[in-house]
Structure 1
Amino acid sequence: MKEYIHNKLIALTDEENKILSGEHEVNKSLYTDNGQFIIDSNKLLGKEELIDIRKHTRFIDFPKHKHNYIEFNYVYQGSLTEIIDDKKIILKRGELIFLNQYITHEIEASKEEDIIINFIIKPEFFDYILGLLENDNIISRFLITTLYTNYEEGEYLYFKVADNKEIQNLVEKIITELYTPSIMSKATIKLLVGLLIVELVKNSQDVETYSVDNYEKMLIIQCLKYIDEFYREGNLFELSKELKQPHYKLSKLIKKHTKMTFKELLQEKRLSKAVELLKFTEYPIVEVIDLIGYENLTYFYKIFKTKYKVTPKEYREKK
C-alpha cells in the first residue's frame, strides 16, 4: 500500500477524536434515526449510491446492532473482534467477513493499530453481481437466500484468505481507488468488488459459514429436496418419518420459511413438472396428469387454469 494512503487509513477521524476526548458511547444519530439500533444505509450512502467503503470507528465498543444493507468487513491491519449470537470471532489481518442484513452483531473496541474497512452495500447492487456468478456456489446461495427468499435469519461468511495474493491485491486496489478518487472511481470500485466476489467464489474452501438458525434452515432444505424427488406420491407424514420430526413441527417450519404450506409447495412442484411435460413431450394430457401424481382430472384442470390462465391443451398449443 502506498505510504500516503496508509497514513490516511491510520489518521484519526472526527468521530474518533471525540471518543478520545471523552465520549463514551457511539453517537447513534450518525447511523440511524430509528429507535432501535438498525444502521440505515441512507445515513451512510448518497441518494443514488449502491456501495460505499469506509473505515470502521476505533476506540469504542459498537453495541448490538443490525443494518438494512449487506456489510463486508476487511482487516487491513491488526485484528477485529466480532460477537455474533454470543460467539466471539477474531478476524486477523487480510481476512473478510460478509454479514447479511438480518444478523445482530457487536464489535469490541478496536485499538489504534486496528484498521478495519467496512463495505456498505445496498441489496440492489447484487443484481449486477449475481449475473457474474454461477448459481451453485456459496456466495450465490448466501445472496439469493438473503435477497430473494423469505428466510430472514442472520448469516455470515467468514473468509480466511490472508495468504491469497489475488484477493489481497484486489482489496488493495479498491482501497487505493477510494483514497485517490477520479471521475471513474465509483464505476471502478463496483467492477473491482465484482471481481473480488468472483475470486472469493474460487476460494470457497477457505470460508466458514454460519446461520443463527442453521438447524431450521437445514430442515427446510431437506423438505424441499424431498418434494423435488417425491412430488408424485410425497406427503407430509412420510416426510416427518424420514426426517424424524413431528409433522406439525415441519408444517410450521415450512410455512415460516417459505410462506407456503407443504401442500402448496407440492402443488407448485407438480404444476411445474406438468408444464415441463407439456412443453417437451408428446404424452397425452391424461397421462401427464397421472405422471405428476393427480388422479382427479377436473381438479387438475381447475388448478392449472387458475395458475396459468389457460387450459393444459391451450398451454401445449402455445408452446
Structure 2
Amino acid sequence: MDALLLKQLMELTEEEIEILSQEKKVRKDLYTSQRHFIIESEKFLDKNKMITVRKHTRFIDFPKHRHNYIEINYVVKGKLKQKVDNDSITLKKGELLFLNQHIEHEIEACGDDDLIINFIIQPLFFQFIFQYLNGENIITEFLINSLFNHTQNGQYLYYSVSEVEEIQELVEKIIKEETDGSLMAESKMKLYMGLLLIELVKNTDKITKNQSASSQHFIVVESLKYIEEHYRNGTLQELAQHLLQSSSSLSKNIKKATGFTFKDLIQEKRLMKAKELLETTDFSVRTVVEEVGYDNISYFYRIFKEKYKKTPKELRKELVK
C-alpha cells in the first residue's frame, strides 16, 4: 500500500483516543440506536450513498453483533481475530471476509500494529451485479441471501487472496477513493467493487464458507438479470417463457425464494432508476416516468413518495440546497 495512505490510516481516530484514555468499553450509541447490538449503516453512510470505507476501531473487544448491511473486513496490516457464527477465524494481511447482514460475529481487540478496513455496503448496491455473474456460484448465493431478508441465512465468505495482485490493487483503489473524497469518488468505488466481485468469482478455489441453506439461485439470478435489462416493459409471462416455466409456477418460485413478487421486484428497479435519473439528468418528471416504463404519472407520484418519503420535485429541490 502507498506509504502516505498507510501512515494516514494508522493515525489514531477520536474513538481510539477516547478508548485509550478512559475505560475500555464500546460506546454502542456510536453504532446503533437499537436495544440489540445491530450496527446500522445509517451511522456511517449518508442517506444517498451505497458504499463507504471505515477503519476498524482498535484496542477494544467488540461483543457479539450483526449489521443491517453487508460488511467486508480487509486486513491491511497485522491480523483480525474473531468468532463468526460458531467458527473462529484469524484474518491475515491481504485477506477478505464477507459478512451478510444475518450473521453474528464478535471481535478480539486489535493492537497498535493492526490495521483493518471495513467496507460498509447497502445490499441493494449489488442488484446490478447479477447481470455480470454467469450461472450459479458462491458469490451469487451469498448476494441472494443478503439481498432478500426472506431467507434469513447467516453467511460468510473467507477469501485467502493475499497473493492475488489484481484483488489487492482493486481493494487499495477503493480505500484510496474514500480517503481522497473526490467528486466522483463513490462512482469509482462502485466500479471498483463490481470489478472486485468479478475477480473474486475467478478465485473461488480460495474461498472458505460456512454452511447455509440453499435456495433456488438459478431462478432468482435469471429473474434479476431479466428485470435489469427489461424493467421498462418486461412481463412475468415473457420471463416464464424464457425459463421454460408456467407463469404461475415461476411466480410462486420467485416469491418463495425472495419474499417478493415479480411485480414488487420490477417496481423496485423502476423506482431506483427513476431516482437515479432525477438526480443525474435534467429530464422532466414526465419524461422520467416514461423512461422507467410508467404511463400513469399520478400512480408514479404515489408509489415514489411511499418509497422515498418525498415527491420527485421535493427530491430535486434537496439536491440544489
Report the TM-score when normalising by structure 2. Answer: 0.66
- CA gap of 1:278–1:113, structure 2 versus 1, over 3 A, is closer
Contact 2:51/2:122, CA 8 A, preserved across alignment: yes
SS in 1 for 2:210: strand
- In structure 1, the residue matched to 2:181 is 181
Whether 2:53 is the aligned partner of 1:53: answer yes
Structure 1 or 2, whichever has the larger Rg, is 1
CA deviation digits over 1:127-157, x for unaligned, max 9?
1222322231210111013323622121100
Structure 1 letter corresponding to 2:92: K
CA deviation digits over 1:7-48, x for unaligned, max 9?
111100000000100232110001111011001111110010
What is the CA distance between 1:278 and its match in structure 2? 8.2
Structure 2 letter corresponding to 1:116: I
- In structure 1, the residue matched to 2:172 is 172
Cα distance in 2 between the residues matched to 1:149 and 1:22: 38
SS in 2 for 1:124: helix
Cα distance in 2 between the residues matched to 1:200 and 1:45: 25
Contact 2:145/2:153, CA 8 A, preserved across alignment: no
- In structure 2, the residue matched to 1:36 is 36
SS in 2 for 1:125: helix
SS in 2 for 1:97: strand
Structure 2 letter corresponding to 1:101: Q
- CA gap of 1:181–1:278, structure 2 versus 1, over 3 A, is closer
Structure 1 letter corresponding to 2:87: K
Cα distance in 2 between the residues matched to 1:193 and 1:67: 19
Cα distance in 1 between the residues matched to 2:135 and 2:158: 20
Deviates more, 1:131-140 or 1:87-96: 131-140
Report the TM-score when normalising by structure 1. Answer: 0.66
- CA gap of 1:134–1:24, structure 2 versus 1, over 3 A, is same
Structure 1 letter corresponding to 2:12: L
- In structure 2, the residue matched to 1:194 is 194
- CA gap of 1:149–1:102, structure 2 versus 1, over 3 A, is closer
Alignment of 1:162-241 (within 5 A): 162-211=162-211, 214=212, 217=213
CA deviation digits over 1:204-224, x for unaligned, max 9?
11000113xx3xx25x77xx9
- In structure 2, the residue matched to 1:87 is 87
Structure 1 letter corresponding to 2:111: K
Contact 2:38/2:67, CA 8 A, preserved across alignment: yes
Unaligned residue ranges in structure 1 (runs of 5+): 226-271, 280-291, 293-319
Cα distance in 1 between the residues matched to 2:149 and 2:58: 35
What is the CA distance between 1:124 and its match in structure 2? 1.1
- CA gap of 1:149–1:60, structure 2 versus 1, over 3 A, is closer
Contact 1:135/1:141, CA 8 A, preserved across alignment: no
Structure 2 letter corresponding to 1:176: K
Identity, % of aligned pairs? 48
- CA gap of 1:6–1:276, structure 2 versus 1, over 3 A, is closer
C-alpha root-mean-square deviation of aligned residues, in Å? Answer: 2.4
Cα distance in 2 between the residues matched to 1:15 and 1:130: 37
Off by >6 Å, runs of 4+ in structure 1: none
SS in 1 for 2:110: coil
Contact 2:19/2:59, CA 8 A, preserved across alignment: yes
What is the CA distance between 1:175 and its match in structure 2? 1.5
- In structure 2, the residue matched to 1:14 is 14
Deviates more, 1:33-42 or 1:138-147: 138-147
Contact 2:70/2:146, CA 8 A, preserved across alignment: no
Whether 2:157 is the aligned partner of 1:157: answer yes
Cα distance in 1 between the residues matched to 2:103 and 2:77: 25
Cα distance in 2 between the residues matched to 1:76 and 1:60: 18
Unaligned residue ranges in structure 2 (runs of 5+): 219-239, 250-321
Cα distance in 1 between the residues matched to 2:246 and 2:61: 60
What is the CA distance between 1:277 and its match in structure 2? 7.9
- In structure 1, the residue matched to 2:272 is none
SS in 1 for 2:140: helix
Whether 2:126 is the aligned partner of 1:126: answer yes
SS in 1 for 2:172: helix
Structure 1 letter corresponding to 2:156: Y
Cα distance in 2 between the residues matched to 1:175 and 1:147: 24
Contact 2:162/2:168, CA 8 A, preserved across alignment: yes
What is the CA distance between 1:186 and its match in structure 2? 1.0
- In structure 2, the residue matched to 1:25 is 25
